[in-house]
Amino acid sequence: MQRRRIMATNTKYAANPALIFTCGIVALLPIIILCLLVTASRVRAQKTTKSPDCLDTAQSQGELNECAFGKASQADHELNQTYQAILQKYSDRAVFIDRLRKAQRAWLTFRDAQLEMMFPSGEGAGSVEPMCYGLYKAELTQQRSKELRQWLTGIEEGDVCCGMKKELIELRVNGRRHELAVEPSELLLDVLRRDLQLTGSKRGCDDSSCGACTVLVDGVPTLACTMLAFSAAANGPVTPDITTVEGIADHGALAAIQKAYGDWGGAQCGFCTPGFMITVKALLDRNPEPTEDDIRHALSGNLCRCTGYTQMYQAIKAAIAAEQGR
C-alpha cells in the first residue's frame, strides 16, 4: 500500500511539464544572465575598440595608396562639415562670412601650393608617392579642421580670418622692385591690384578658368589668381620677373598688340583684354611667326564673354605683321 502511494506521487510529478520547465529555467537562470552579461560587454568592447588602421592592415602598396587617399577624403569631408557649421552659425554676420569665404579660398590655394611644392607634378613619380601625397594632404586638412573647430567653439575671429602674420617680401614687377608686407596666403593678383595699384589684371572667375588675371612670370603666362605672392617673391639670389599688362608697353609707346586691338576692335567691354594681351605677348616672344593653330592653341585658356574672337584673331595677326615689319 505504502509502495503504491509513492509510485502515485512520482507519477503526479512526472506528469507535470510546467513544473519541470519552471525548475529548468530556475536552474539555468544564472547561466543565462552570465551569457547576457558577457555578450553585452563584448558589444560594448567592440564599440569602444577602434577599427584597425588601414595603413597597418594594407597588404600591398596599392592598398596603402588607397588608404592614404581615403584618409585625405575623410579629412576633406570633416573640414567641409566644420566649415558649413561655421557658415550656419554666423549666417547673420555678412562681413564675417565674406572674410571667412576668402580665407578658406586662400587656404585651399595655399594647401595646393604646399602639395605642389612637396610633390611637383611629373617629378619623382614612384609607387610610394601617391601614399605620401594622400597622407600629407590629410595632415594639412586636419590641421585646418582643427583651427576651424577651435573657432567654432570660441577662439577669436582673427585666428581664422586675419590672424596670419604679415611678412616682408620683395616682388619685381614690370622691371621695378617692391618691398611689401603680405600674409603668406595672399594671392599675387590681390597684391598686384591692391598693394601696387596695378589694376589691369582682372579677376573674372573664382575657379581658374577665365584667364583674365594672366601675368607673365619669367616670361611664362601665369594665372595670378592661383599663385601666392610668396611664390613669386625674391628667394635668395632668384627674383622672378613679373610682367603685367601695364608693363608690356614698348618704351612708352603701345606695344603692337595693344595698338592692333584698338585698330581692329578686338575688345568690346575689355574685361578679358589684359589677359589676352599678356598671352599673345608670351606667344609672340617665343614664336614670332605663329600659325592660326598656334594662336588658337595659345589663347585656349582665355575666355571672352563678349566677342566671337574673330576681331581678336585679326588684331593678333595685324600685331604679328607689325612686329615683322619692324
Contact pick of 106, 131, 140, 213 for ligand FES (by CB under 6 A): 213
Contact pick of 24, 219, 262, 270 for ligand FES (by CB under 6 A): 270
Phi, psi of 143 (to 5 degrees): -60, -45
Task: Judge whether 240 and 307 are in contact, CB under 8 Å.
Answer: no
Count of beta carbons in the 10 Å neighbourhood of residue 37: 10
**75 vs 280 by CB, closer to ligand FES:** 280
C-alpha cell at 246: 601695364
If one asks whether residue 307 binds ligand FES (CB under 6 A), the answer comes out as: yes
Contact pick of 130, 211, 221, 240 for ligand FES (by CB under 6 A): 211
How far is residue 94 from each of residues 75, 83, 87, 100, 132, measured CA to CA in Å?
27, 15, 10, 10, 39
If one asks whether residue 268 binds ligand FES (CB under 6 A), the answer comes out as: yes
If one asks whether residue 227 binds ligand FES (CB under 6 A), the answer comes out as: no
Binding mask 113-152 for ligand FES (x = CB under 6 A): ----------------------------------------
- Residue ranges in 90-210 assigned as alpha helix (H): 94-118, 129-152, 157-161, 188-190
Contact pick of 71, 75, 198, 204 for ligand FES (by CB under 6 A): 204
Shortest Cβ distance from residue 272 to ligand FES (Å)?
3
Count of beta carbons in the 10 Å neighbourhood of residue 68: 23
**Touching ligand FES, residues 277-306 (CB under 6 A):** 304-306
CA-based R_g, the chain, Å: 35
Whole-angstrom distance, CA of residue 243 vs CA of residue 25: 91
Task: Report how far Cα 254 is from the mean position of its chain's Cα atoms.
Answer: 39
**144 vs 202 by CB, closer to ligand FES:** 202
Contact pick of 16, 199, 208, 300 for ligand FES (by CB under 6 A): 208
If one asks whether residue 212 binds ligand FES (CB under 6 A), the answer comes out as: yes
Of 72, 67, 70, 73, the C-alpha closest to 128 is 67
Residues that bind ligand FES (CB under 6 A): 203-205, 208-213, 223, 225, 267-272, 304-307
